[in-house]
Structure 1
Amino acid sequence: MAGLKMFPRRWGPTRPLAIAAAAVLATMSASPARADWLRAESERFVVYSDGGANQLRQFTQELESFDRLLRIRLGVSLEAPTYRKLPVYLLGSRTAMLRVRPGAQDGLAGFYMATDEDIFGVARRDEEMHTLKHEYAHHFMMQNFSHAYPAWFIEGFAEYFATADFKRDEIHVGKYSQNRAYWLINGAWVSMEELLAERPGASVRHRETYYPLAWLLTHWFMSDTERRRTLGTYLAAVGDGADPVAAMRDATGLTTTELQRALRRYVRERMTYVVMKTSFDATNIVVTTLPKSADDLLLLNQRLKVGVPEEQRAATAQDVRRAAARHPDDPLALLALGHAELHFGDAAGAEAPLQRLIELDPDHVEGLQYLARTRMDAAAASDDRDAALRLKVEAQGYLSRAYVADDANYVTLLLIAENRADSPSYPNENDVAVLEQAFVLAPQLGVVRINLAQALLAHDRNIEAAGLLRPLVADPHAPSSTARALLQRAEGRSEADEDDVDDHDISVTPAPSDPAARE
């Protein structure tokens, strides 16, 4: 990497405002002719696309550059290991988006999912990468900074970095998005008290300005060295349990009214952004062509991981059956068919395609995981204790094979722990080690944090458990009531009121076998 220099630049008071006030019109382009699906693998990403190879390489390189930018700006070593590469699906049309996520709203440019079966991103090829950068910033924060940040900062942080603009030999950091700027100039601002204390989805007045204000407040802090130190003081206080409104007053010396005035002045005056004079070395990217089955089944298989509404499950299973029939003995077709039967069809019907899959590829990790799941589900449904034990032993055999094939797969580790959850010795030290390894691989997934926290509580490691749970309780989109109850217990508060947490019943919270529960 070339030498790094940073220079502030300013936005003039007239031109940005005129641009921000302009209406933004969405344009629709015709879907391109079907092309082969390509797979690009780089240092930290695996990207799938049915577009051209050059565009795929460029997209993958920008993702790698964005990851490096976050590492440089936030003090994370560029040499830190990547335990799990993030899969990203680059799509060319709304129709393709609907194949992954039925019912997706018009104009959806992308999304990010963390489920018990996969953690992945989806983006449109004909859109800017803003949405994906925003979601990857969340992913990066949870991977590297496990802290109970206030909701406004979680969103403001993601918005601040999502606008990063990569030029040939420099990176612009801290510029605005036209949509956010438009609302700041033309919209009624949500109150500072609600911004600081509420989640973005809460029922507050003028909620359409929540994200723009979260970005603006983050930008205000990040644009000045002294204010950055103040922000650190504030975040530490909130992480320790301080009221977010009072902590802001204590850290800045400003009332909420004074803070809002300061932000309005900041918008009217010349706002700075940072120009990083740098160029990243090109990432090694290996592009391969996927088999023809990917046209029919790659996105459909991801839909099974996202979740399908109950009324669409039978039709989805039938779609997979028809598609798989066109590709006999193809590994992706066998995997998708077994996957669909397991979730939405005949569970017994999953056996044949999954067994055939591991006959063709004995180390197929997902195939082994789904076979283990069939045994675990059958054991849970059995009234015969000996039969259930035999099924769990079979499941453990499949999971052991999956772990040997890939010891950095968090799904295997979650299943290993779940398969032992009703054992009298659970959770022993090895169980804790398994869940700790799952957490290293997938700290973004709530069930990983909850299961590890439960195991740590059983070993009186309450402080560590509390540290895992606080980010879930602070989650701006879906705060976990289970995590809140466990956190109260870890901190020794209101234990008698938490009926769903029993000191003598510490067990794994199963990852939802019903995909609809993942929505």
Structure 2
Amino acid sequence: MPIVVRGQRDRASNWHQAETDHVVAISEGSEKDLARIAHDLERLHFLLSVLLNRADKPDDTRKLRVTLVGDGAEFDAMELGNLRYSPGPYSRVFPGPAYYDPREDGAVFAASRYDQKAVLERGQDLAGILPDLVRATTPAAVEAPGAGAENPGASAALSASHAGSIVRFGRNDPLAVSVNELAVPVSAEGRILAGYARHFLLTYFPHAYPRWYVDGFGELFATLATEGDARMEYGRAPAGYRKVLDRYRRYPVADIVTGRYLADRNAGERWTPFHAWALTHMLFFSNERKGQLRTYLATIAAGGSMERAAAAFGDLGKLQDELVAYDRGKLPFERMSYPAERAAEPIIRRLSEGEAAFVKGRLELGARLAIPPASADPKPDRQRIATIARRDEWLRGLRRDAARYSTNRDAQLLLAEAECRSDNMQECAAAAARALALAPGNGDALAWQGTALAGIALAAPASARAGQLRAARITIARANRADSENPLPLLAYYRSFAAAGETAPDVAIEGLMKAVDAVPAAPGSRLLLGEALAKRGNVAAARNALIAVANGPYETPEAAPARALLSRLEQ
């Protein structure tokens, strides 16, 4: 008797995925727009590779995962608190919600797919002033057809009907525009291109950088423009550039290049993405200043202070004068031709409803599971308690969703990761087992199963611990064999020794180095490597691994531990 298997195919969603050699982009919006953006990101990757002498070099890094979502309200709903990305500080009028997290298993980036604007000076809503305008220009004596002594209320009724129709114009109506408003456009694609340029710099040249330079480097390539399949240009000034510089007084260059602006609470009143663009643009395009910029960045990369590094520019007052004159002159840009095959068209597919259901959860996971470290203060830490409560509530929702999509591998994998990162090892092991039942031999599922088994082993009685740890490491080794390029099993294997207080073997250290090479911008794996090398007495190598974390452009949860370890190494 034949066996009949009944099942329901997961229906297609409105989300699409566009994959290139270096990017996986996901969006609920237009498939055509997504394809164009992914293609432009691949073009930008090639351009940056040429400019920074990386073309045709080996590349073992993980692809950046780019997710395009709706407006600011949608961002707010996901509570994507940036733990490892904090540009500026800029004036609050500049919108553009963006999220970037160089996670250990691959960097993720999210941005709005909608164009926005920065309102430098508010005007008056046309919808608000039109009723008054109509009343002021409608003579009381004007009568509707048939009006007169016999119909004395007709004129008033006509005026009221016009006023009523105008009052109904809301913020999204065609007449909901502002009069005398001073604003500049903020292109959605420009924000995405800027985000990728920053990611490229931090991934392929993972050093310590001043924040203003990383911010400005991104802005420099935000105006990338393409012509057909063989030409592109970069370096043009952003739309509204002159308006912004006329509106905001320039912040002192000396305070920027020395980093003093980061401690100035009022810096945001004068420092904008346009100013970051201007300073970086001048140094990037100036033959004389370009060499000074390299010296400045090299000093910081070696662990020197920004104050010391700024000496590379000489007289900072002269640099200020040059920048003011530069802004007033004709600003250069560059065009280049390239073989179309160097930036191939993306491969597009539509996500299933099950896959789409966990796109946002994948993004949220980084911030939702971040818990502040416990304080030494014996008093209750209200903030930590509230954060744990929010995490647990989010986890309960994720568990319900994973149960609803019980036959979806991605749902079980996301839940396994969330449980493991929350130290719920039994629950993690169960979710990983469900994922393996759906996808036998899956590398991620095996890695989380091995992580959970190691955690369970560490909580076991001493007599059983060694045997359970060996079993956990066997599972982790299977995960590595399933996908040798995946950093998750490499990190899990090293952590199984570190958490147990055991000396990690050479193969575990080599795996940790490979994990860092896969996601060079990830501060978490760099900190682990620095700690491992320090324990082995390799101070120089440990220092090299830690500087980019300790003195990086953005303050991360790993920065303070990295600085503390560096300080001990230098004693």
TM-score tier, shorter chain, comes to 0.7 to 0.9
1:357 corresponds in structure 2 to: 435
Q: Matched residue of 1:89: which SS? A: strand
1:368 corresponds in structure 2 to: 446
Q: Within 5 Å, which residues of 2 pair with 1:319-338?
A: 319-338=397-416
Aligned length, in residue pairs: 456
2:289 corresponds in structure 1 to: 227
1:192 counterpart = 2:253: yes
Q: Which residue identity is paired with 1:455?
A: A
Q: TM-score, normalised by structure 1?
A: 0.79
Distance 1:457 1:310 in 2: 32
Q: Matched residue of 1:353: which SS? A: helix
1:163 corresponds in structure 2 to: 223
Distance 1:129 1:118 in 2: 22
2:193 corresponds in structure 1 to: 133
Q: Which residue identity is paired with 2:470?
A: V
Q: Matched residue of 1:290: which SS? A: strand
Q: Within 5 Å, which residues of 2 pair with 1:369-448?
A: 369-382=447-460, 384-422=461-499, 426-448=503-525
Q: Deviations over 1:37-67 (max 9, x none)?
A: 3222221122222234332221211110111
1:347 shift after superposition: 4.8
Q: Is the 8 A contact 2:498 2:504 kept in 1?
A: yes
Q: Which residue identity is paired with 2:113?
A: R
Aligned in 2, Cα 1:386/1:164: closer, same or farther, shift over 3 Å? farther
Distance 1:241 1:356 in 2: 47
Q: Deviations over 1:117-145 (max 9, x none)?
A: 54211122224223332332232122222
Q: Is the 8 A contact 2:527 2:562 kept in 1?
A: yes
Q: Which residue identity is paired with 2:25?
A: V
1:262 counterpart = 2:340: no
Distance 2:535 2:308 in 1: 35
Q: Is the 8 A contact 2:46 2:55 kept in 1?
A: no
Q: Matched residue of 2:111: which SS? A: strand
Q: Matched residue of 2:333: which SS? A: strand
Distance 1:449 1:158 in 2: 23
Q: Matched residue of 1:420: which SS? A: helix
Q: Matched residue of 1:69: which SS? A: helix
1:478 shift after superposition: 0.4
Distance 2:458 2:268 in 1: 45
1:268 shift after superposition: 1.5
Q: Matched residue of 1:51: which SS? A: coil
1:273 corresponds in structure 2 to: 333
Q: Deviations over 1:469-512 (max 9, x none)?
A: 2222221220612222332344xx3x3xxxxxxxxxxxxxxxxx
Q: Deviations over 1:181-238 (max 9, x none)?
A: 5443321333333211227643354334444443322211112223222322333344
1:74 shift after superposition: 0.9
Select between 396-405 and 164-173 the one with higher mean Cα deviation. Answer: 164-173
Distance 1:463 1:248 in 2: 25
2:23 corresponds in structure 1 to: 45
1:294 counterpart = 2:359: no
Q: Is the 8 A contact 1:86 1:120 kept in 2?
A: yes
Distance 1:266 1:354 in 2: 58
Q: Is the 8 A contact 1:358 1:368 kept in 2?
A: yes
1:293 shift after superposition: 1.0
Q: Matched residue of 2:464: which SS? A: helix
Q: Is the 8 A contact 2:203 2:519 kept in 1?
A: yes
Q: Within 5 Å, which residues of 2 pair with 1:34-183?
A: 35-94=13-72, 96-98=74-76, 100-101=78-79, 107-116=95-104, 118-127=106-115, 128-168=188-228, 169-178=230-239, 182-183=243-244
Q: Within 5 Å, which residues of 2 pair with 1:493-504?
A: 493=570, 495=571
Distance 1:219 1:451 in 2: 36
Query: What are structure 2's unaligned runs of at least 5 residues?
Result: 1-11, 83-91, 116-187, 370-386
Q: Within 5 Å, which residues of 2 pair with 1:193-208?
A: 193-198=254-259, 201-208=262-269
1:154 shift after superposition: 2.5
Q: Within 5 Å, which residues of 2 pair with 1:445-456?
A: 445-456=522-533
Aligned in 2, Cα 1:107/1:212: closer, same or farther, shift over 3 Å? closer
Query: What are structure 1's unaligned runs of at least 5 residues?
Result: 1-33, 496-519
Q: Is the 8 A contact 1:153 1:214 kept in 2?
A: yes
Aligned in 2, Cα 1:346/1:422: closer, same or farther, shift over 3 Å? closer
Q: Is the 8 A contact 1:327 1:333 kept in 2?
A: yes
Q: Which residue identity is paired with 1:164?
A: L
1:72 shift after superposition: 1.0
Aligned in 2, Cα 1:173/1:84: closer, same or farther, shift over 3 Å? same
1:484 counterpart = 2:563: yes
Q: Deviations over 1:441-463 (max 9, x none)?
A: 11111121122122223333322
Q: Is the 8 A contact 1:170 1:278 kept in 2?
A: yes
1:239 shift after superposition: 3.5
Q: Is the 8 A contact 1:117 1:305 kept in 2?
A: no
Q: Deviations over 1:96-155 (max 9, x none)?
A: 535644579995443211234542111222242233323322321222223333333232
Distance 2:391 2:26 in 1: 25
Q: Is the 8 A contact 1:301 1:336 kept in 2?
A: yes
Aligned in 2, Cα 1:160/1:117: closer, same or farther, shift over 3 Å? same
Q: Matched residue of 1:408: which SS? A: coil
Q: Is the 8 A contact 2:24 2:63 kept in 1?
A: yes
Q: Is the 8 A contact 1:41 1:47 kept in 2?
A: yes
Q: Matched residue of 1:162: which SS? A: coil
* Structure number, greater radius of gyration: 2
2:392 corresponds in structure 1 to: 314
Q: Is the 8 A contact 2:512 2:525 kept in 1?
A: yes
Q: Is the 8 A contact 2:23 2:42 kept in 1?
A: yes
The two structures, once aligned, show a CA RMSD in angstroms of 3.0
1:422 shift after superposition: 5.0
Q: Deviations over 1:25-46 (max 9, x none)?
A: xxxxxxxxx9433222221122
Q: Is the 8 A contact 2:190 2:223 kept in 1?
A: yes
Q: Which residue identity is paired with 1:188?
A: R
1:240 shift after superposition: 4.0
